[in-house]
Structure 1
Amino acid sequence: MKTLVAKVRNLNLFHPGETVVVAVSGGADSVALLDIMSRLECGLHLVVAHLNHCLRGTESDADEAFVASLADNYHLPFVSQSCNVAGLARQERLSLEDAARRARYAFLEQTAAKYGAASIALAHHQDDQAETVLIRLLRGSGGAGLSAMAGAAGEKLKRPLLQVSRMELEQYLKQRGLTFRTDSTNADTAILRNSIRHELIPFLRRYNPRVSERLAATAEILAGDEELLDGLTQASYHRLAASEDGEVRFQLEPLLKEPRALRLRLYRSALVELRGDLMRIGLAHLEAIDRLASSPRPNAEAKLPGSCRVWRCYDSLFFGHATAQPSLPWELVVSGEGRYPLPGGGVLLVERMTRPQSLDTGSRWSAFLSPEAVPFPWLLRGFRPGDRFTPLGMSGAQKVKDAFINEKVPPELRRRIPLLLSEGEIAWVPGVRLGERARVTSCIDAVLRVEILEITP
């Protein structure tokens, strides 16, 4: 069918003379794709790639042998690889379909890299697109999911048959006299995609005989809308999000001024930046993040699939990777002047010096202490519930927790701040305030200068 070959050629998905990896399973769709690609008459260098999923024993091996023979008939390079997809699914806790998809795309990318291919051609067609739309609709999806598959995805993936129906491909195979393999599992309606293909779509054709075409057209329209919305989202993301040290941060005031729909898209963008994908992230997770952002609580967090967490700290919303917090209490004895590495990260510096004219160090992480009022040895330890101290200039004791809150110290930082104790009393809370008992009086000639390095987030 010259018209079908011309239809694919007119898509202009491939550049003359480029190397293209063609994914061939041996089924009808991929056999038709390979034949069409071989007849495009634009000097393409084709490589036939086949992944043996090892799911059907000798049947899978026969598929591989068939594709090898097919490649030989076309005088094309053939690359194959075997993968224990069932084992991968168990290991990664994925469905067989998801595990097979991951293995397949990884293999195709490796093959493309090996041959220097600019494109990978996949045999998805119009009916596959319609099935994908229905699957995502049934599972619950927004516009991005219902856009389904793109004709050109990323830099390499190309789907030349996305506007071609299964019926057109069957007619093409018949007219060309091409044989193909039939996967016996395609008839198993316990698999969702097969059930949609053999039961749901035939039922829907009673209402619209062209339902597959209409669903595919809807996906194409939504894809155009998504392209526009994605551009708007990325512009807002660059304006509102700041990325540093493996974290993404939003200032809450401007974030909450944006429409809810845009905020949810911004959360998706932040998660993609951290994780690389949105696997197992659903609407419920995005709504939980939005509730966190608008909560009256100044500090709270939510854990997400994929070892990610989102936390609110006063006027900011953070996205980052979940990290294990030290569970054991720690203590460090400071016997005198010197440099002391801290268990939670950072360094304490202690030095004796002549009393300066000004006792203002210019930093919350350094202070001048009276050697007589806070004699060695000191004890450094982490914060404990119930800790109290008397801040400089005050006469009454205050909870350290309240001081943290007043100074808006992030909860994750509170766990890392070492409290300095002398004779059993807290003399300094770094990052917050010096204690009254460590006050340097006018009659003191020498002071102890203490500084915490590399403790701020």
Structure 2
Amino acid sequence: MKDLVAIVRNQHLFAPGETVVVAVSGGADSVALLDIMTRLADERLKLIVAHLNHCLRGAESDTDEKFVADLATRYHLPFVAIRVDVASFAAAEGLSLEDAGRQARYAFFHEVARRRGATGIAVAHHLDDQAETVLIRLLRGAGATGLSAMKPSGANLVKRPLLKVSREELELYLNGRGLTWRTDETNSDTAILRNSIRHELIPVLKKYNPRVTERLAATAEILAADEELLDHLTVSSFDRLAFSANDEVVFGIEALLQEHRGLRLRLYRHGLHELRGDLMCIALTHLEAIDRLACSCRPNAGLKLPGDLRVERCYDRLSFTCAAPSAPRQWEQDVPGEGSYRLENGMTLTVRRVERPDDLATGSKRIVHLSADAAPFPWLVRPFTPGDRFTPLGMTGSQKVKELFINEKLPLHERSRVPLVFSEGEIVWVAGVRVAQKGRVTSTTGAVLRVEILDITP
């Protein structure tokens, strides 16, 4: 039997002493993951068990929650759970139960990570899940980016340490360790695409190649390596061919058309992502429309894309812009002292006095420590306005907050929601983005304030 602990350790996904949220449903995969994570003794990980009750199976869902709670107690680990009526959420948002459940889970895991200062979220996706994902995306018409499927270290803190381990190997591990798990009967419902692929399509494919799951996962790994190379080439070419200014991405058409079409399409994707922060609803047809615009003989023309994105051609310039939302209502919030304050943008700011920590690094941009003497109350919190400046921690000169947003690649539509925290008329924190030099904690600081911004809206 494979040494699964060694397989996870040798991927070096977790730093020594790291705080990690472990997503545990109670199924075989996540129970095995939790046990393996507790055996990474050299890493000295601080683990938090997180469970989302989907409320889809009545008493069975509640029993799953209790099973995971008991599991956390057995390992002497903190346990966090939440109940979400996924069926109602799916109906309200027009989503499938699978998509609604996934959105609810990851929103919950990230909220737990923010609250606990975790820098990793471990999920139990394994080799068979990877193979199924490749087939799902192939059936839906994905290109190489989609077919590269899941990565061991994904975006937004997510880690997948079991991608090289099969479902069968995980069950062998559990049996060898004398561990039990819960079985979700809905996993047999072939009306769900993933279940249909697992129970119907893959058995057929195994008639042609008994190791088809391993081959599909290996294909995804090869494509992921290719994607890494192509991403590097795209970013390098983007830096050479495009410039960003005033919330606009601009290409010179003459130089752009010297590049291969495949690279041009990737450059368009990159430019759109730079503006909006995601590529939701952007399909190949949109990228091809941009390319036709770039290749057109018309000196002036434009395209409107989903999500208020617009592409304009003006002679030798191809510019990408994201229409700014209507100007947000200006607001101000007074913070006279410690406490919890609900802000008008839907966020919550919490302030409390703590002992000076030995290590000021919180592992999260949403939590900072400030000197009560250097940043005295009352504070003022308000959104960004043009012309705001501050001195970032560790710097001597001031910087425009707008430049900070650009450097941090913060999408235009998110900038108006970022609260600025002021003390004595100076910014002490661009909340969730960067702390200022003013208010810094030094070796001589007495009272220390722990300040956290909670984003409780989607």
Mapped to 2, the partners of 1:9 and 1:169 lie a distance apart of 16
Is 1:112 aligned to 2:113, yes or no? yes
Q: Distance in 2 between matches of 1:133 and 1:288?
A: 27
Give distance in 1, aligned partners of 2:32 and 2:315.
59
Q: Alignment partner of 1:153: what SS?
A: coil
How much has 1:324 moved relative to structure 2?
8.9
Residue matched to 1:396: none
Does 1:291 find its partner at 2:292?
yes
* TM-score w.r.t. length of structure 2: 0.67
1:37 aligns with 2:37: yes
TM-score by length of 1: 0.68
* Pair member with larger Rg: 1
The code of the aligned residue for 1:309 comes to R
> 1:23: how far off?
0.5
Distance in 2, matches of 1:293 and 1:84, equals 47
Moved more, 252-261 or 87-96: 87-96
Instruction: State the secondary structure of the residue aligned to 1:235.
Output: helix
**Kindly tell me: are residues 57 and 110 of structure 1, through their superposed partners in 2, closer, same or farther at Cα, counting changes over 3 Å?**
same
For 2:69 and 2:188, the matched residues in 1 are separated by 25
Distance in 1 (alpha carbons) for counterparts of 2:325 and 2:164 = 49
Residues 183-202 of structure 1 mapped to structure 2, 5 A cutoff = 183-202=184-203
> SS where residue 152 of structure 1 aligns?
coil
Report the 3-state secondary structure (helix = DSSP H, G, I; strand = E; otherwise coil) of the residue aligned with 1:51.
strand
Give 3-state SS (helix, strand or coil) of 2:41's partner: coil
SS in 1 for 2:133: helix
C-alpha separation in 2, matches of 1:98 and 1:272: 22
* Deviation (angstroms), 1:323: 6.4
Superposition deviation, residue 120 in structure 1: 1.2
Give me the whole-angstrom Cα distance separating, in 1, the residues matched to 2:320 and 2:113.
34
Separation (CA, whole Å) in 2 of partners of 1:245 and 1:37:
46
Measure, in 1, the Cα distance between the counterparts of 2:260 and 2:287.
14
Q: Which runs of 5+ in 2 are unaligned?
A: 327-458
Q: Distance in 1 between matches of 2:303 and 2:27?
A: 45
Question: 2:101 is matched with which residue?
Answer: 100
Q: Which residue in the other structure is 2:178 paired with?
A: 177
Q: Distance in 2 between the 1:245 and 1:307 partners?
A: 16
What's 1:24 paired with? 24
Written as runs of structure 1 = structure 2, the 5 A alignment for 1:233-244 is: 233-244=234-245
Provide the residue aligned with 1:58 in structure 2. Answer: 59
CA deviation digits over 1:244-272, x for unaligned, max 9? 23222212111111110001001111121
Cα separation, 2, equivalents of 1:247 and 1:56: 48
| CA-CA distance at 1:281 after TM superposition | 1.8
**1:80-107 C-alpha deviation (Å, 9 max, x unpaired):** 1223333443444433333322222222
Three-state SS of the structure 2 residue aligned to 1:110 is: helix
> CA–CA distance in 1 between the matches of 2:302 and 2:84?
39
Higher relative contact order (CA 8 A, sep 6+): 2
1:220 aligned partner: 221
Q: Distance in 2 between matches of 1:298 and 1:16?
A: 57
Instruction: Give the fraction of aligned pairs with identical amino acids, expressed as a percent.
Output: 69
For 1:402-441, list aligned pairs within 5 A. Answer: none
1:275 partnered with 2:276:
yes
Which residue matches 1:334?
none
Does 2:165 align with 1:164? yes
| CA separation of 1:317 and 1:99: change in aligned 2, threshold 3 A | farther
SS in 2 for 1:30: helix
Match of residue 361 from structure 1: none
Distance in 1 between the 2:262 and 2:103 partners?
Answer: 30
Distance in 1 (CA, whole Å) between partners of 2:241 and 2:122 is 37
Partner residue in 1 for 2:437: none
Pick closer, same or farther for the CA change 1:273–1:70 going to 2, 3 Å.
same
Aligned-partner SS, 1:196 = helix
What is the RMSD computed on CA atoms of the aligned residues?
A: 1.9
3-state SS of 1:317 partner? strand
Q: Deviations over 1:152-186 (max 9, x none)?
A: 12462211111000110111112222221222221
Q: Quote how far apart the aligned CAs of 1:322 are.
A: 4.1
User: SS of the residue aligned with 1:35?
Assistant: helix
Q: CA deviation at 1:187?
A: 1.0
CA distance in 2, matches of 1:123, 1:207: 28
Match runs of 1:149-160 below 5 Å: 149-154=150-155, 156-160=157-161
Q: Match of 2:100, SS?
A: helix
- The CA deviation at 1:10 is 2.0
- Give 1:112 deviation, angstroms: 1.4
